[in-house]
């Protein structure tokens, strides 16, 4: 697992996981409705050129009309309308320039001028960024006024007040286009906000899932460490002792090998129980980690070790050859989480003694009061079975992992852990585990 993690460090993880949320239509892609509108407008306007009331004056205007300027204006407007989702500001400006040329060249109105003006105004208020939307929309009202003046020339016979009527009607249509654009902008913003919230929620769920996976891996690592760390330390210590006395005391060597056999069988049973727990269906009642029994077998699945199991733990360490004294005083069995954490702390402390200070005289003091537990495990300078200095049973590559596991358990219960060298030599571990507030029972005389 570590090799895989190390190999993965060279790859950069995505900042935000794929949430699975998709936008439709995709952002910045021309809409089908815009394409259909542009094609329909081109078809209708191609057969309905501008209405001309008088022959354009001047050679330049005649040349522009004869050269097909209307076709160019029509093409610019249709392309701008079709692509207005890609670049709305550019599309509105292009339509404005084309309609300005339309006004300069032709003195009559056309379907193209009316429809393009309304679409441009709607695009201003629905898609153009807000700082530029209103100035461009105001130009739309100006264009409507110019169109009203041109339309007045088409009324025959002239009617008093016709200009005001046409102007009011044109501005009314433009106002409808403005309101339509505002409503579409608001609806689109609401949809985008909902999509963004969905993406954030999906990212949070993915992060929580990853954290849950990491927490589960850490829990499994602690379980495996609890089950095998102590047993392997006992096996290693007994193997070293058996090798030292094999030639001089075969009986002691045989006893050490017997301890190794019992410890290994117990470890296999505990590993099987852990595997069964991990394979259990999530809907079933959770199985607690197995605790060792006096006969060396694993406890039935569903039980958790506690302070009552500490004497058995000490007995096993004594059989392994560790000079050990136990002072256990407890007024009542603490809550299950506290009792299990206390047992694991004592187990880890004894494991560290056997690993790093084999055969060193060790004292274990446990006090349980009011649901809390106070633990002190201290050992003297390590000595070997033959009276010389004892070496550690393992290398330094994993040194500190046991203390880290112990610290995680203590911190999870709001406890305190101190570990360090004693002034007179040796090592001392002091653990304080308070009673969980939600599990503390009411004192006599108090309301429950």
29-38 average pLDDT score: 80
What pLDDT digit, counting tens, does each position of 266-284 carry? 778 877 777 777 777 544 5
pLDDT reported for residue 210: 93
pLDDT reported for residue 156: 58
What pLDDT digit, counting tens, does each position of 393-413 carry? 444 445 567 788 888 889 888
Sorted by where each begins, the domain ranges of the chain are: 32-158, 208-433
CB 359 within 8 Å of CB 380: no
What pLDDT digit, counting tens, does each position of 344-369 carry? 899 888 888 888 887 789 999 999 88
Backbone angles phi, psi at 247, to 5 degrees: -80, -35
Class of domain 208-433: alpha beta
Token pair recorded at residue 341: 């954490």
pLDDT reported for residue 333: 82
Task: Evaluate if residue 208 carries a pLDDT over 60.
Answer: yes
Backbone angles phi, psi at 134, to 5 degrees: -70, -40
Token pair recorded at residue 119: 């679409």
Ranking 28-37, 212-221, 259-268, 303-312 by mean pLDDT, the lowest is 28-37
Q: Which residues of 242-257 are buried (b: 16+ CB within 10 A; e: fewer)?
A: bebbeeeeeebbebbe
């Amino acid at each position: 697992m570590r090799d895989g993690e190390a190999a993965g460090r060279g790859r950069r993880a995505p900042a935000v996981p794929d949430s699975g949320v998709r936008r439709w239509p995709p952002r910045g892609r021309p809409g089908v409705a815009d394409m259909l509108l542009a094609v329909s407008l081109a078809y209708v306007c191609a057969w309905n050129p501008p209405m001309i009331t008088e022959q354009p004056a001047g050679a330049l205007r005649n040349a522009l009309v004869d050269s097909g300027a209307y076709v160019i204006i029509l093409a610019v407007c249709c392309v701008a309308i079709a692509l207005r989702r890609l670049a709305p500001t550019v599309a509105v400006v292009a339509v404005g320039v084309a309609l300005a040329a339309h006004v300069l060249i032709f003195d009559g109105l056309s379907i193209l001028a009316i429809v393009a003006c309304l679409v441009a105004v709607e695009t201003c208020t629905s898609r153009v960024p807000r700082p530029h939307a209103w100035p461009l929309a105001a130009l739309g009202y100006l264009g409507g006024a110019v169109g009203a003046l041109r339309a007045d020339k088409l009324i025959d016979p002239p009617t008093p007040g016709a200009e005001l009527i046409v102007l009011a009607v044109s501005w009314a249509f433009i106002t409808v286009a403005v309101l339509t654009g505002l409503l579409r902008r608001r609806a689109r913003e609401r949809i985008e906000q909902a999509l963004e919230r969905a993406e954030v929620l999906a990212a949070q769920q993915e992060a929580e899932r990853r954290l849950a996976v990491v927490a589960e891996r850490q829990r499994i690592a602690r379980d495996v460490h609890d089950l095998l760390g102590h047993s392997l330390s006992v096996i290693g210590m007994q193997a070293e002792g058996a090798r030292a006395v094999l030639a001089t005391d075969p009986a002691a060597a045989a006893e050490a090998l017997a301890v190794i056999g019992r410890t290994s069988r117990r470890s296999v049973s505990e590993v099987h129980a852990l595997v069964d727990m991990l394979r259990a269906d999530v809907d079933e009642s959770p199985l607690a980690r197995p605790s060792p029994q006096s006969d060396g077998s694993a406890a039935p699945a569903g039980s958790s070790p506690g302070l009552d199991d500490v004497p058995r733990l000490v007995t096993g360490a004594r059989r392994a050859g560790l000079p050990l004294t136990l002072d256990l005083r407890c007024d009542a069995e603490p809550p299950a989480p506290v009792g299990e954490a206390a047992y694991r702390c004592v187990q880890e402390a004894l494991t560290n003694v056997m690993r790093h200070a084999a055969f060193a005289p060790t004292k274990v003091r446990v006090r349980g009061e009011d649901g809390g537990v106070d633990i002190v495990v201290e050992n003297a300078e390590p000595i070997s079975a033959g009276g010389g200095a004892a070496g550690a049973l393992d290398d330094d590559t994993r040194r500190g992992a046991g203390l880290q596991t112990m610290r995680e358990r203590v911190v999870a219960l709001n406890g305190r852990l101190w570990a360090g060298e004693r002034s007179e030599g040796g090592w001392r571990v002091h653990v304080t585990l308070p009673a969980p507030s939600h599990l503390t029972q009411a004192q006599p005389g108090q309301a429950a």
